[in-house]
Chains A and B, each alone.
Chain A
Amino acid sequence: AQRVTQPEKLLSVFKGAPVELKCNYSYSGSPELFWYVQYSRQRLQLLLRHISRESIKGFTADLNKGETSFHLKKPFAQEEDSAMYYCALMTNAGKSTFGDGTTLTVKP
């Protein structure tokens, strides 16, 4: 069975500081990993996926198979980044597992 762990339920940083949201996973196969974001009063939406290897809104995430991690990073946090972030794993059978989420607060 797959599992996604986000060890930090709450994370608070000051504007301009670097931020890293941790995500660890366990899955015996080859997973697809995603970060989803939920801004206040908005629907959950995809932020980025590991296969794209892209940077969205300044965020990047690198899949580290050795450490089974997919941490989300941004060098300079902005107040508008305050949101709830979910790490998610999708198997090739279409099963999805989300972490418990991390609420990021960026203080001015």
Chain B
Amino acid sequence: NAGVMQNPRHLVRRRGQEARLRCSPMKGHSHVYWYRQLPEEGLKFMVYLQKENIIDESGMPKERFSAEFPKEGPSILRIQQVVRGDSAAYFCASSPGVTATGELFFGEGSRLTVL
């Protein structure tokens, strides 16, 4: 069972461009979480999704950021009109559902650099 797969691992964008980060959860997992880690800072929750539904997006910036988890295919975190402050590592985690264990399985992250 492959782990959580994120791509691209590294992405460079110029200011004003769009960034799309993809996350394929572990097989059998229907819950996806996105987190952002700014340089020298901790992990910050962004959004929690189930298939075709956004459950909690309280950590998402109000503008330019969106996320989806379609019925088929990976979850996508989209950042429009990127700015230098968006440079960070974006981590995805998945879980099989709301279970007693609650363990999250993390991807290796996508590192976005905005020039």
Contacts and interface: CB of A to CB of B under 8 A. Distances in A.
Interface of A: 6, 32, 34, 36, 42-46, 49, 51, 84, 86, 88, 90, 92-101
B42 A44 contact: no
Instruction: Kindly state the interface size class of chain B when it binds its partner.
Output: 20 to 34
Interface stretch (B18-26, B70-78, B79-87, B98-106): B98-106
B56 interface: yes
A51 B31 CA distance: 21
Given A43-B91, A90-B104, A96-B33, 11 more contacts: A36-B104, A43-B107, A44-B93, A45-B106, A46-B104, A51-B101, A88-B104, A90-B102, A94-B97, A98-B43, A100-B43
Nearest to B106: A44
B105 to A, nearest CB: 8
Contacts of A96: 33, 45, 48, 93, 102, 104
Nearest to B109: A43
Given A43-B109, A44-B106, A46-B104, A94 B42 contact: no
A101 B37 CA distance: 11
B69 interface: no
A98 B104 CA distance: 12
Given A49-B103, A94-B98, A44 B91 contact: yes
Contacts of A92: 98
Output the residue of B44, B91, B97, B104 with the most chain A CB within 10 A. B104
B96 to A, nearest CB: 11
A34 to B, nearest CB: 7
B41 A100 contact: yes
B42 A100 contact: yes
Contacts of B93: 44, 96
